[in-house]
Structure 1
Amino acid sequence: MTGAGAEPADGAVPRRRSRRDEILQIAVGLFAARGYHGVSMDDIGSAAGVTGPALYHHFAGKEAMLVAALIPVSEGLLAGGRQRVTEHRHDPQATLESLIDFHVEFALANPAVIALHLHELDRLPEEPRRQIRRLQRLYVEEWVTTLTALHPGLSAGEARVLAHAAFGLMNSTPFLGGEVERQRRAVLLRAATLAALLHHPDSGDPAP
């Protein structure tokens, strides 16, 4: 997976970060901490140790940084989700477990990107915002397909409700402090999400 601060997908060899990647990661961290309007290009250049002309060589402005941060992440989530659905296509529970593992690892590795997405997506121009929304919808549908296969009788609309609720749980990482170490946070997030999605919403019983 590429993008500002985003970790590579499982099994991928991480590429060496370019100066552009480093600047983008710094910008994402500042946006997440202070808000889009609370950060100037000068702030980003100062934090990155880059002069104004050099900074504009990499990015036309803050808006371009948002696009560069969010679109590759959305593309990576969709690609990773599709890969896991394909790998476990004959076993819906194994698919669900793999999707949860994948998303929890992403959420723990990229809390600043998640915060940026939650609070700043509407700053984007219409076209890139529409592209990101489309990628998100396609990613959600991978979860919907898995949940409806796991829970016969569950409608697609109901499965979307469950999927979005699960994302809310897993994407809580920007709000989690360091009180609990990372590996334990991963265990807790995985267990809570799996428990929520394995149980049939009508019967209260685990999926067969």
Structure 2
Amino acid sequence: MTNGVTERDRAKADRHAAILHEAAVLFAERGFSGVSLEDIGGAVGVSGPALYRHFANKQALLGAILLEVSERLLAGGLAVLSTHDGAHERLDAIIAFHVEFALQDSDVIRVQDRDLASLSDADRHTVRRLQREYVEMWIGILSSVHPDRDDDDLRVRAHACFGLINSTPHTVRASRSRPGERDIRGILHSMALASLTA
């Protein structure tokens, strides 16, 4: 036991993370309605009913996926603000953070785009609130870069930038001649920065 965390606690946390990951992959491939708890259990090596030890139902599992990623985005944005000074440095850093997120979590992005409406009302409200806070963080940074532009203008720019970054990883995945991840990262970063500083 280290810092009060037992091997059993660690194993439970690992299983929880594995369930979230495999559920996101399956939801991305087949859609929320096309996946059963048995499918998810099979992907992580447990029976479907065993998942009820971790989640009340499939909708709660979807909620956990989208809440976790929304919280992680907001935390990442706050980390950028706390560790970088200056508008352009912050903009460069938050673009880099979001590009990394899009490359690592493209399955979750697809789930969010397609299955947000399948969340419970409470989870959907929380996800939207967290995501609004993340967007407002971008607007705050952009307002320092473009002090002459109003919030509505900057909100359009931020959402257009998300569309650019979020759509590209799984578009590239379908390409026959996929460039290396370093190349993708650089392309997305430079295009996003150019679009937001134009």
Corresponding residue number in structure 1 for 2:43: 47
TM-score by structure 1 length?
0.84
Q: In the alignment, does 2:96 pair up with 1:101?
A: yes
Equivalents in 2 of 1:86, 1:59: separation in Å? Answer: 34
Contact 1:114/1:174 (8 A) holds in 2: no
Corresponding residue number in structure 1 for 2:153: 158
What is the Cα deviation at residue 131 of structure 1?
0.5
Q: Which runs of 4+ in 1 moved over 6 A?
A: none
| Corresponding letter in the other structure for 2:77 | G
> Pick from 84, 93, 108: which aligns with 2:80?
84
Corresponding residue number in structure 2 for 1:202: none
- Percent of aligned pairs sharing the same letter: 44
Equivalents in 1 of 2:146, 2:50: separation in Å? Answer: 54
Contact 2:40/2:48 (8 A) holds in 1: no
1:171 aligned counterpart, secondary structure: helix
Contact 1:81/1:142 (8 A) holds in 2: yes
Equivalents in 2 of 1:107, 1:52: separation in Å? Answer: 29
Contact 1:41/1:62 (8 A) holds in 2: yes
Uncovered stretches (5+) of structure 1, i.e. residues with no partner = 1-14, 200-208
How many residues matched? Answer: 184
Q: In the alignment, does 2:176 pair up with 1:180?
A: no
Equivalents in 2 of 1:84, 1:114: separation in Å? Answer: 21
1:50 aligned counterpart, secondary structure: coil
Q: In the TM superposition, what whole-angstrom CA distance separates every residue of 1:59-83 from its partner, at most 9, and x where no partner exists?
A: 2221011111111211111111122
Q: In the TM superposition, what whole-angstrom CA distance separates every residue of 1:11-48 from its partner, at most 9, and x where no partner exists?
A: xxxx9861121122111100000001111111112222
Question: Greater share of helix residues, 1 or 2?
Answer: 2
What is the Cα deviation at residue 139 of structure 1?
0.5
Q: In the alignment, does 2:47 pair up with 1:57?
A: no
What is the Cα deviation at residue 136 of structure 1?
0.5
Corresponding residue number in structure 2 for 1:116: 111
Q: Aligned ranges for residues 3-14 of structure 1 at < 5 Å? A: none
Equivalents in 1 of 2:188, 2:57: separation in Å? Answer: 36
Corresponding residue number in structure 2 for 1:145: 140
Contact 1:144/1:160 (8 A) holds in 2: yes
| Corresponding letter in the other structure for 1:181 | G
Equivalents in 1 of 2:92, 2:27: separation in Å? Answer: 32
TM-score by structure 2 length?
0.88
